């Protein structure tokens, strides 16, 4: 959305702390190549990333950018038993995203700001759009079974409840997600020097991924705190630098916000109506 209304003075526009954490863009040559990848694939102990691993981690942001529009699923636990799930497509070339959201939770629990529809404890759903500046929510057109990006084109800008981001887990996840893609390289060496760590190897849907802790926040002290000063962001990256999953831990919540990437959605065309100024 071009401009957002602030709601209840909840959270002014701020310098987003996670921009430092996700400053991992495309890379130079992968030192060690496939041999290094295989050599370290059987590790079982957490350790600093190799240069080959740092290069793949860095390359993951460019891969997202080039694959746009990318299908994603974001799951955020809001506390009090409320869970928000967003299924969307993200275009990293325009830094815009559109999709649908569903809210489930215990009766009497509070819902994310701006949500409409039934009370918590029942299924709440609608359309959502967001960009670097904020987000907008709108009721889903009744009886319309088309993809959310098509539904959103029929809702004018005035039909969206627009607002700036808050500190809620959903908003933090949306901000993180819209900023993950990058169109230019960064230095993998700086990524490695900032505290990125290899954690272990996992399998998701039958494929193998390296799980990495991202770079530490600026000023964070290694070995400090319950996580040893580790970044709250974790990345699952394959052998080609493809990003499959990202999780973000938030203070006071036991369940991290999770983003799953499903690859390019070649059918999707992001709508103009939610951002139109005319």
Q: What is the pLDDT of residue 5?
A: 41
* SS3 per-residue string spanning the chain: CCCCCCCCCCCCCCCCCHHHHCCCCECCCCCCHHHHHHHHCCCCCCEECCHHHHHHHHHHHHHHHHHCCEEEEEEEEEECCEEEEEEEEEECCCCEEEEEEEEECCCCCCCCCCCCCCCECECEEEEEEEECCCEEEECCCCCCCCCHHHHHHCCCHHHCEEECCCCCHHHHHHHHHHCCCCCCECCHHHHHHCCCEEEEEEEECCEEEEEEECCCCCCCCCCCCCCCCCCCEEEEECCCCCEEEEEECCCCCCCCEEEEEEEECCCCCCCCHHHCCC
| Per-residue pLDDT tens listing for the chain (278 residues) | 534 444 444 444 333 333 433 443 333 333 333 333 444 445 668 999 999 999 999 999 999 999 999 999 999 998 788 899 999 999 999 999 999 999 998 655 455 555 554 444 546 899 999 999 999 999 999 889 999 999 999 999 899 999 999 989 999 999 999 999 999 767 899 999 999 999 999 999 999 999 999 997 655 455 544 455 679 999 999 999 999 999 999 877 778 999 999 999 999 999 999 998 76
Structure tokens at 153: 């084109």
Q: What is the pLDDT of residue 143?
A: 87
Q: What is the pLDDT of residue 134?
A: 96
Q: What is the pLDDT of residue 15?
A: 37
Q: What is the pLDDT of residue 160?
A: 95
Entry pTM:
0.78
Q: Could you tell me if residue 205 is left (phi over 0), alpha (psi between -120 and 50 degrees) or otherwise beta?
A: left
Report the C-alpha gap between 208 and 275 in whole angstroms. Answer: 39
Q: What is the pLDDT of residue 113?
A: 56
């Amino acid at each position: 959305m071009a401009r957002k209304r602030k709601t209840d003075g909840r959270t002014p526009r701020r310098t987003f702390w996670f921009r430092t954490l996700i400053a991992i863009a495309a890379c130079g040559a992968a030192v060690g190549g496939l041999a290094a990848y295989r050599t370290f694939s059987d590790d079982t102990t957490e350790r600093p990333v190799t240069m080959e691993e740092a290069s793949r981690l860095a390359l993951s942001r460019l891969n997202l950018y080039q694959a746009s529009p990318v299908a994603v699923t974001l799951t955020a636990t809001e506390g009090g038993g409320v869970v928000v799930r967003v299924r969307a497509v993200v275009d990293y070339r325009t830094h815009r995203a559109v999709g649908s959201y569903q809210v489930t939770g215990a009766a009497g629990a509070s819902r994310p700001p701006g949500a409409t529809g039934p009370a918590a404890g029942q299924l709440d759903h609608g359309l959502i759009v967001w960009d670097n500046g904020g987000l907008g929510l709108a009721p889903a057109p009744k009886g319309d079974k088309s993809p959310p990006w098509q539904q959103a084109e029929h809702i004018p800008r005035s039909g969206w409840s627009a607002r700036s981001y808050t500190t809620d887990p959903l908003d933090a996840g949306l901000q993180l997600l819209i900023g993950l893609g990058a169109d230019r390289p960064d230095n993998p060496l700086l990524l490695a020097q900032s505290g990125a760590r290899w954690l272990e190897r996992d399998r998701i849907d039958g494929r193998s991924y390296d799980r990495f802790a991202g770079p530490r926040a600026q000023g964070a002290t290694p070995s400090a705190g319950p996580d040893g000063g580790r970044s709250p962001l974790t990345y699952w990256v394959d052998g080609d630098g493809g990003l499959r999953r990202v999780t973000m831990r938030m203070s006071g919540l036991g369940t991290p916000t999770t983003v799953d990437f499903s690859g390019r959605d070649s059918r999707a065309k992001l709508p103009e109506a939610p951002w139109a100024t005319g």
